[in-house]
Structure formats: C-alpha cells, structure tokens
Structure 1
Amino acid sequence: MRDGAHAGADPCPAHAGAGERPALFGPDFLADPYPAYAWLREHAPVHRATLPSGVEAWLVTRYRDARAALADPRLSKNPSRHSADRHAAGRVGIPGERGAGLMTHLLNIDPPDHTRLRRLVSQAFTPRRVAAFEPRVRELTERLVDGFAERGSADLIDEFAFPLPIYAICDLLGVPAEDQDDFRSWAGMMLHTSGKRGGVGRAVKRMRGYLAELIHRKRLAPGDDLISGLIRASDHGEQLTEDEAAAMAFILLFAGFETTVNLIGNGVHALLRHPEQLALLRAGLAAGDERLLATAVEELLRFDGPVELATWRFATERLTLGGQLVESGEPVLVVLAAADRDPERFEAPNTLDLRRVDNPHLGYGHGIHYCLGAPLARAEARTAFAVLLRRLPDLRWASGAPEPRWRGGLIMRGLRSLPVEFTPARVTGRQ
C-alpha cells in the first residue's frame, strides 16, 4: 500500500484548512457536481475514488492535467489488455460490448490499430457527408416540433432531445425507416437503464444482431449511407472487417445519441436558468442572425456539457500525473466537467457567457481520441436551438414543474425530463 492511497473507500489526503470534501456520486452530487469538483481541483486534483461500481480509479480534475492526460500515450484505452476481468463483468467500458463482439471501436483501442481504424472510418464519416446531411437534420427537427407545437407544452427530453439524434444517426447510418423504431427502443433501454448493466447489455446484444444483418445486406446492395461507406473504406488495400464495421456503427450510435440528447437537454436547461443569456440568443435569431449560435453551443458544452467524464484509461506504466504517483494498470478518469470550469484556464468559469470566444473546452476530448462525431453533434445542437427558439419564442420552464431530476451513468450526465410550456403555435403542415 502506498502512503495510505489504497486504504479504505474513496480516501482523500488531508489539507490544512481544506474543510470537508463533499460526498461524491450521491443524489446531491448528481444534481450539482460542480461544488465537489471545485473542492477536488483545489485540494486533491488527482484523487483516488471508489466508484459506485466498486472500481477504484483516479479522477483528474484540473484543466492542465486533464488536457495532458487525454493526450498521454502512457494511458491506454484498451480495457481488454489492462482490465479484462472488470471489463468482462461490465464494471468498466460499455456493458455487454465484450460479449456482443463489439470491442474493436475507437474508444477501446490504441495505436497502431487506432490509427488504422480512424483513418478508415474518417474516409466514410467526412465533413462533406455531415454538411450534406444538415438539411435532413433541420427537417427532422421541424417535424418533431410539429408534434407538440400546437399543444403548448412538452417534455423536451422525451419528445425532442431523445428522438432527434436517434433518427438522425439512423438516417446517416442507412437504417431503413421501418426499422428505426426498434433502434429507438434499444437506445431508450441504454439511456433509461444507465448504471444498470443488465438492461444496457441486453440492448447492446439486440443491436449487435441487427447490425450484423444490416451490414450483410449493405454488402450485397450498398447505398450512399455511412454503413455502406464504412464497408467501402479502404487504405492501401486494407478494409474494415465485418466485426470492425459493426463495432464502429455501434459506437457512432451509442456515443453519438446520448451525448446529443444531453447537449440539447442540458443546454436548454442552462438557457432557461439564465434568462439574460436566453434573451440574447433569442434576439439574434429573431433578427435572422445565427452567428451567436456557434459560440453559444461551445459555451453550453463547456458550462454543463453532456459528457461528465472521459471514457476509461489505464496506466501502462508507473507515471506521475498532476504530482500524484499512478501505478501501472490503475484506471484513470479525466473529469471533463471539472476541467472545463477551472478558474486557472477560464475567466469566470461558473458564469454562462454565450459570447465567450476564448473557449478551448474539453467537451469532445483532446488528442487522437477527439470525438469523430463532434461536427454532427454540433450541427444537431445548432439546429435544435435555432428551431426551438424560432418556433417557440416564449419557451419556458413549465409552471409547477418539480426540480429537474438528473440521470447519470458515470460517464454521461443529463436530465431525465425537461417539462416546458409556451404559447401554442400553429402547424401549417409539412411533408
């Protein structure tokens, strides 16, 4: 045992005048983790904690340490190599992915395999493809708002933030329209059973079976969709295997839909809690000026982003991180939510400022594992905010609604529901 670092659950070094560390991972923490993260940044910036799953991991909370850790090649992303028992038990990584044969995706591998796969996938998931898809995102967004605009109230999570990225990524992947409700059901199982390994694992298994069948069909009759692009992608004669293509399609869906659900939901919640910033954005949109949308989305990603902690990393050798000795094999979790409110890097970090331009947040990561789907998520969020605030200009928190309840599965953090009301808007009809 090293200087008491492994003694007991969630140990914390003593600091003169530090006060008592706030509890981690309980209901109060889930509702507002930022005071606890502020304490850790100041008093224990690289802190060994016992997670709800029972796994002990190092939490990295300062911006400079977080940015360095995200790009450190000594921190492996491969749980099969460095944490096989915990991964098989679903205590690290995505529950069920190992048993479903979905391991070979970009969140689980290191160079040189990561370099090869990312290069291949990048040939299919291009900026041009995302840009060409934006009109479809707007069409989906308008149609979802049509579904509740005349009613004058809605749950923006269930009726808007959740279905939008599901239908968008299904369209992009090439999932036939008649199968998309199945995908919505499986995604709902993953979203609403966060932290319950069995429910997520069952959804992953069902999705894997469907993807195997779909990839086989696309090989026989390719189209202009992303799965067909993944199948066609090649580099020096090398192509994605069927397992690799299935794993990549799976992770684009799994990582892409929940982050966007939370980005939209957390973002609308933050705007409703900061009416002066909401008024600023509304005024620009009312004048036909969407330039503020770009900085607004970046600030919402920083202020209360969809991904609380970056996905698992494992030390491949003994190393020092933020002044703390980390042993080989130990798990490391970079706390993006804490780093993005570090006062050493961001001026007035607890203030929502949609005009903030000096904003190198870590919401989509950093280094070679920077989120491949970030351009699509940004496009979906910009469209979602623009359409909502244009169509429902007096959107507000529903009167009499209880305090929001938050859902967290360690990595992600988002609202369970977002009840809103507004003046009913007439729907003119849309094909």
Structure 2
Amino acid sequence: MVAEQARSYSDTPEQLPPQLQSPEDVFKLLQIQYSRYPLFKAGHPGYSAIFVRDIVKSGRAARNPMMLAGIIALGGDLQAKNKDPIRGAYPGAIFHEYNPERGDGIDINGRGNTMFNACDTTAEWTIGHEDYTRLTGDYSFVRRYRSELDAASRYISDHVNSNGLFIEDPEFSGAKHFALKVTTWRDSVLPGRGTGEATYPVVYPLAHAQNIAALRSFSRLTGAEWPRKLAQRMVEALPDLYSPRTRSFFIAKDADGPIEGVNSDNLHMLAYLEPGDLPPDIVESLVSASEILETDWGYRPLEPELAKKTNDPYHTDPVWPHEQSATHTGIKAHLDWAIKEKLKGLIGALEHAFEVTGRPNNYYDKNPGSYPETILNGMPWGNKIQLWSAAARKEYSLSA
C-alpha cells in the first residue's frame, strides 16, 4: 500500500480522544458512505482510497459483517471485465485500490494505474463471501454475485500454471509491468532483486496460499468440485516453494529463480492453509526458522541482514499488528489440530509461535486508544490510526 501513504513516524503513541477508544470507535471514525456502499478508509490521516485487502481482512478479523458487505458489493460491481494494461486488469480480477473521488486507482510515476495491482485481492474478496455467510447465515451476496464469483474463480485458475503454482505476471493484462513493483500486501519493493521488482512470471508463496483458500471457499459456497481439486493440486505444489537451506518458503520464485530468505509470510500462510496441508516437520521448521524474526512485539517482516540490503524499512522493520493477529488466529487452528492428533513436537512449536504472534496485544494494553499502522521497538510507527490495526485488537479480544 504505497500510493497514498502518510508515513507520519512518531516516537509517542497517537491516542484517540477520550470519547474514541475502542476498535468500534475507529470503525465509526473511518466509515464513509459511497453511493449505496458502507465503506471504510484504510487509515487516518492520509488515506482517501478504498482498499479491498484492508477492508476484507479487517472485517474478517473483527467479525464485522457490515464491513464485509460494502466491500463485497463494491468489489463485485467494479470487477474487471476486460484486460487493461494501464490498470493491470484481467477478467475476473477484483480491484486493489479505488479512489471514489476519481473513480479510479492512482497513477504512479508514468508506470500505470494501481487499480488492479494485486494478486491477492480476488482471493480475499472470494474468501470474504464465505466470512460473511459464516457470520450471518445470509447467502444473498452469493446469489447476487454468483457470476462475479464464477469469474473470480476463473481468474484464479487462469493464473495457475502447469506445475500447480499461482503465478503473477503483467502479461496477463497485456502490460510489461504493473504500476506497483510488488502486487502482494507488501507492495513497495521485492527483497533480493536489485530493481526491487520480480522478473516475471513470479510466484509469491503467501499469494499462492491465499488463492488456495479462495478456491476452497468458492467450492464450499457453490458446491463446485473443480476448485477443490485445483486447490489440492496447488497444495501438492507447495514443496516446490520450500528451501531446505533456510528451512522456510522462498520469499518469491521468479523467472530468475528462487529468492531465499526468512520472512513472516511463512507463518502468515497458516492463516490460509488447512491443518494437514503441510507435513508437521515442515511447519516445525517454519517456526524454527522464524526465530530470527522475533521481537518483543511479534515477528518482524524480514530477517535483519536481508532487510538492511533491501532498504525498505516500512515493509521490513516494524511489526504489523494486522499480520500478527491473522497469523495468531491461523496458528490456533493448526495448534488445535496438532493437539487432537497428539503431535508433541508440532504442539510445542505452534505454542511458541502463538505466544509470539500475540505480543502486539501487549502494545494495545499499554496504550489504550492507540491503533498505529505498525509497531517498532514498542513505539508507534507509520500512519497514526489504521483500520486493520484496530481490527487486530478486536481479533485478539475475540480469540482470548
């Protein structure tokens, strides 16, 4: 999310006024009405665009069906129908960034427009449908947007190559590059590449896992069997993304080869994979490898030495509460399964990771009413008030 960042770095918590303290207060502060859609800004100040990723993940974390409803509707209504090399669109894609005032994404330095610059938002939107139905029992959105869900599933299947890997490539839209250098949630630069950009096509393991989850959601929502089978093929392809040397998944794998290193995507993937998708010893290795990322406030995004070379402190140094709370919830599901299966080694590893990913909650306890974008050394860093950080606090409270 680089198009409209207001990176107001502070060494003191920016706390809400006394009358605005809870996550729900933040949601009210950030809510806007656009046409018939109740939507939410990603943060305050400085964010006027609507981001599918932020709202869906926040709605899931906070178990807030209203938050999901508006973005499901807007995402479906703005779904790409044709290829668009300027905006990075491919039929079935759900937008990344939309500025209601402009009716478009953001133009970046002559590289193009950001509107469809994401390889995970179509997945998140699809999963968001299942989140909504699970919370409400209401399938009206599935019925209303069934053709859009079908198109989203085709978008995903079209991006899965013959090896069962979900690939990202601007050529799908007829472009040579996207406006953004990276089309996952850490969308500033790609570690391990001098240009900060992949040599396409590229596989991002986290996006691969997100799209597995989306196909499974689509299958459960519609009863279709082919998405479930394709998701299983993608699960079986996961070993192709694993490095025995680092005992973790690649940061990415592009046309120039794997990018090795340890980042927090390894454990974040557990929020999208089902228990048993990965062998227990692999999950244990991911937790062990992630020790290099541990801080007093959770897992940092990237191992320190590689972070220095990457020179992108925003996405490599501070702890992101939304990522930690989602990982925390994902780990809990895998831990419950490990306990049921009596897998002692895995239980111990996951219990440790569960504790580490719960550490951002200590910041919220010490700083009531403060919901910054990120946390660095126990202090707020980045935007002062962020939607998915408030949702993270809510997610922790719901899982306590």
Report the TM-score when normalising by structure 2: 0.33
Greater RCO (CA < 8 Å, at least 6 residues apart): 1
**Which of the two has higher C-alpha Rg?**
1
